[in-house]
Amino acid sequence: MKTSILRNTVVLIITLLLVSFVSDKNNSEFTKKPRNIIFLIGDGMGITQLYAGMTRNHGKLFIEEITHVGLQKTYSADSYITDSAASGTAMASGTKTNNGVIGQDTTGAAVKSILEYAEDNGLATGLISTSAITHATPASFIAHVENRGLYEDIAADFLKIEIDVFIGGGADHFMHRKDSVDLVEVLKGKGYSVLFDMEQITRVEKGKLAGFTADVHNPPYLQGRNDMLPEATRTALNILSKNRDGFFLMVEGSQIDWGGHGNDTEYIISEMLDFDRAIKEALDFAMNDKNTLVVITADHETGGMSLIGGDFKSGEVTANYGSTGHTGVMVPVYSYGPGAEEFTGIYENTDLFEKFMKVYGFKKDRE
């Protein structure tokens, strides 16, 4: 009798231990909230551009490692069809504004971006782009100007906060300015390593980095940009992850959009595959780190691209285009990591900012 009670007790304890071990395993794959967010924007990357790249790559892309998908509405405050300034501002700051406006609402008041909130909350921050770093998409996360064409004013806004890493084109907007102020000297004075060569940029492992890879825009991948985007992503992740409190990094594949404007299928596909290699860097980091949320989306679709033929074996794609501009269609949001489930459903582009704030656990300055 006594031994059977003892045996039952032992069995019960082992069972309880097993149950708690198993449930613990289930809960601990990801922490509840991410320490880091990597936000990747494929400019002009509708689902067709993505599938064209997937077809060329024989039916597979790195982005397929993501676990959750949602859809976002891209229209701006003054247009059914957004531009990259209004959509960038919407995603960065949660405010619908007019086309052409960077980091301001429709009254001209500055709106605070998720990158600026991250900075204020002690996180490390970074921006990467295959266009000029002063172009509309990256600018929306750091600048506040009434017109996206004010590149030199946008460059000056990079000096107003303590961004840790930025890599992209646009050196001219910092160095060859109408006001003849050399912002590179100002950056150096603030402790940045300012480098103009990708080889040197990739060797930086800590500290603040301003990496200028072109006078204005980087060349297309097909014209010799090489692996600038995935290498810049890896370099930034290595530097930013040294901050124990976490980081926010935005990575833009800018030129999928330019291929779309040109109705140039080979331009679109090559930029799409390059962006997918940057996505791989982000997902590899997140899978290893387990405290990192990866969110991938577009600011809008470009070209009204449709696929009227393709072959997974040869990788051949036949496309038609309905426009040489942007289109009004919703674009997918792909996510992976702690908080990824927040990004499912159908919502406004401005909700991306709200979701970032929620998963980070940041408080707004004002309602």
Q: How far is the CB of 163 from Zn ion (least distance, A)?
A: 24
For position 84 contacting Mg ion by CB under 5 A, the verdict is yes
CB of 363 to Mg ion, least distance (A): 30
Does position 116 bind Zn ion by CB under 5 A? no
In the complex, what is the shortest distance from the CB of residue 135 to Mg ion, in angstroms, rounded to a whole number? 5
Give first-to-last CA distance, the chain, whole Å: 68
Minimum distance between the CB of residue 202 and Mg ion, rounded to whole angstroms? 23
Please give the backbone phi and psi of residue 347, each rounded to the nearest 5 degrees, phi first: -155, 175
Residue selected from 36, 40, 43, 50 as contacting Mg ion according to rule CB under 5 A: 43
Question: x/- string (CB under 5 A) for Mg ion, residues 304-343?
Answer: ----------------------------------------
| DSSP letter for each residue of 216-269 | SSPPPGGGTTTTHHHHHHHHHHHHHTTSTT-EEEEEEETTHHHHHHTT-HHHHH
Query: Which of the ranges 131-139, 213-221, 243-251, 302-310 carries the binding residues for Mg ion, by CB under 5 A?
Result: 131-139
Q: Are 333 and 45 in contact (CB under 8 A)?
A: no
Axis crossing angle, helix 84-93 with helix 350-360, rounded to the nearest 10:
30
Is 89 in contact with 104 (CB distance < 8 Å)? yes
Q: Residue 333 in contact with residue 74, Cβ under 8 Å?
A: no
Task: Encode burial over 156-191: b for 16+ CB neighbours within 10 A, e otherwise.
Answer: bbbbeeebbbbbbbbbbbbbebeeeeebbeebeeee
For Zn ion, the nearest residue by Cβ is 257
| Residue 137 binding: pick among Zn ion, Mg ion, none (C-beta 5-8 Å cut-off by kind) | Mg ion
Q: Which of residues 250-309 bind Zn ion (CB under 5 A)?
A: 257
Q: Report the SS3 class of residue 279.
A: helix
Q: Which is nearer to Zn ion, 257 or 264 (CB)?
A: 257
Query: Which residues fall within 8 angstroms of residue 367, CB to CB, at 6 or more apart?
Result: none
- Catalytic residue (one of 84, 129, 131, 140): 84
User: Would you tell me how many other CB atoms lie within 10 Å of the CB of residue 208?
Assistant: 18
**Site stretch for Mg ion (CB under 5 A), options 7-15, 136-144, 306-314, 359-367:** 136-144
The option from Zn ion, Mg ion, none interacting with 36 (CB < 5 to 8 A, set by class) reads none
Question: Is 84 assigned a catalytic role?
Answer: yes
Q: Which of residues 222-261 bind Zn ion (CB under 5 A)?
A: 257
Task: Pick from 137, 202, 213, 241 the residue near Mg ion by CB under 5 A.
Answer: 137
Chain residue whose CB lies nearest Mg ion: 137
- Phi/psi of residue 9, each to 5°? -65, -45
What, of Mg ion, Zn ion, none, does residue 254 touch, CB below 5 to 8 Å by kind? Mg ion
Which part of the chain contacts Mg ion (CB under 5 A), choosing from 35-43, 102-110, 146-154, 174-182? 35-43
| Interaction of residue 271 with Mg ion, rule CB under 5 A | no
Burial string for 79-111 (b: 16+ CB within 10 Å, else e) reads eebbbbbbbbbbbbbbbbbbbbbbbbbeeeebb
Q: Which residues ranging from 225 to 254 are in contact with Mg ion (CB under 5 A)?
A: 254
Residues that bind Mg ion (CB under 5 A): 43, 84, 137, 254
Binding site for Zn ion (CB under 5 A): 257
Active site residues: 84
